[in-house]
Chains A and B, each alone.
Chain A
Amino acid sequence: MANLSVNIAGVEFKNPVITASGTYGFGREYNEFFPIERLGGISCKGTTIEVRQGNPPPRIAETPSGIINSVGLQNPGIERFIKEDLPWLLNRDIIVIANIAGRTYEDYCTAVEMLNDTGVNMIELNISCPNVKEGGVTFGTSSGGVEKITSLVRRVCKKPLIVKLSPNVTDISEIAAAAECAGADCISLINTITGMRIDINTRRPVLRNNTGGLSGPAVFPVAVRMVWQVANRVKIPIIGMGGISKWQDTVEMMLAGASAVQIGTANFTDLYTPLKVIEGLDKYLEKNSIADVNDIVGKVDAW
């Protein structure tokens, strides 16, 4: 068996497979099928200071090789997350990443301060939710915005800090550099790509929110490209995601420069995807006589 463990910003993951924020709740539902401790980590549903109802339905539509969603950060609020969901997760042998979003700088800083005193292993700043006006995306689409929010949060944050980037930008490497410069310990990307579908009979957008975020295999090539560009620019580790649905995608994402991956939409197609990915990755390494998964990170031999 090859070494599958990875170390990101001082946090040891038993394997590089993490489930993506918003697709996995707080882990309980999936734990009915297999012990989620077999995963490297879980990125929790994005939480905000206040309770959020989310957007009106329909919130999802299938698209070629993917989906668009407009959940709109429905969540129980960070206080209830800490009280009711976190203890259960902290009792398992799995790296727990809290994912937070907010409307203002203060929102983010307050959320981080609340999480500082908990057992979460890492904090992921979602500054890239395309589905709520105030979902942080205003901070996430300019280098100046990213730099400011990251440095403000950095000042109060006692946990390793991941900044999750939006792909809805002109130059992803600029944005990543701004996050690194402002003190991020890790970059995760990509969040969903803003999309839209229209029902040709009713002439109404399929989603009640009009637009939504595209995810699933359709976005994979975009995600690989962005991870590769960011890897060429920053020194901090990268968690790659966007459309990963099989172990081959994971290898590809790691070759592009990701130290670990997150899997979201693919859980909806087959909830055993993360386990199949871990198994396939291990076999791939063994077959190619690679002793350590870290040895493939960034090893694309670009033209």
Chain B
Amino acid sequence: MSDISIIGGGHASGKLVNNLHKLEFKGNINIFSEEEHLPYERPPLSKDFLYGSKKFEDFKIDINLEKVNYYFSTKINKIDFINKIIYDQNNNDYSYDKLVFANGSSPKRIFEENIEGVNYLRTLNDSVKIKSSIEISKDIILLGAGYISLEISSTIKKNYPNKEVTIIDNSEKILLRNSNDDLREFIFKYQKKNNVNFLFNTSFQKLIRNEDGSIKSLILDDNKILACDLLVVGIGVYPNTDILKGTMLEEKNGIKVNEYCETAVKDVFALGDVALSKNNFLNKHIREESWNNAEKQSDILAKNLTGTKTAYDEIPWFWTDQFDQNFQILGEINNFDNKILRNYSENKNTIIYFKNKKIIGAVAVNNGRDISIIRKIIKKNIVPNMEKIQNKDINLKELL
């Protein structure tokens, strides 16, 4: 049986290993991870772990280390697809039979180099560092109004309502990507209610430091000075494809794979945040950057690597938890021709989006049950009865 070598030790990698073991894969598994920790799920890093109500043990992915060769703190720097060899940061070489890219994505940076006091949140270590800084900071600035910043602001305000938290974005609204105006309105309402400050259409031009080198304030584009003792930047992520430069698999927006997680190169696979995957529901290639994508692709790839050819057929789904509210996005929520709001109460809503009379997506606030049902309706290709959908007293389950 061929051996499998995996680059990356994050969510997708950890789950892939466990799924391979469940399917009784008998070959060797080699995992090369830049991090010094076991794989873990990342959502708690901006939520419960940052808040202090979850420990690493609660979200780490347990792997039986006796059954794998785990190379901790090992970054793969170079790949030779022709001779099937990978090289780490110390130029050690490892040959492979089958190679899996599970090396995720990285936060986009505002400065090329690492600058003291400019924080990003991607890893456990980042979260630990930001958590301890929050405790001693008064004026916190989050650059970028994406999901990460909105979750951090929620976590800080829940713990420390009196700390000043300001989110700055150079566009005119929150969540420019992976969102729509309905969701923005819901989320913005909770952020404002909890006294998070927002500054739109601006960015900063300069950092002012104290004598000890720590950040004191930011000078914004309009020359306004904003006090700041903690800066976290969350302006999006990019796929970790730099190691492919100059190879036959060079890709810009992720490593292109089909619905079986296969790349264009034989015996080479990719999944999770780094993969630009064929999504059958949307009929295009997308990079999903979600927990669900990492989780479900690891299941699919394990099957494919053990001989059961299985296609990925998930409808894109993402959740974010902020201020004890759960927001979920399913499917396509932008290119619709009709929408219906099911307003159950002030804090419980579902908006369903249609195209050509069929449901294509939904946004739900504190109503995961509707999302579960709508996912089934879409998968079963049901043309729903509009009268029933419009009547919130009718359980959506009746449409199944």
Q: Do A and B come from one complex?
A: no
- Residues of chain B at the chain A interface (Cβ within 8 Å): none
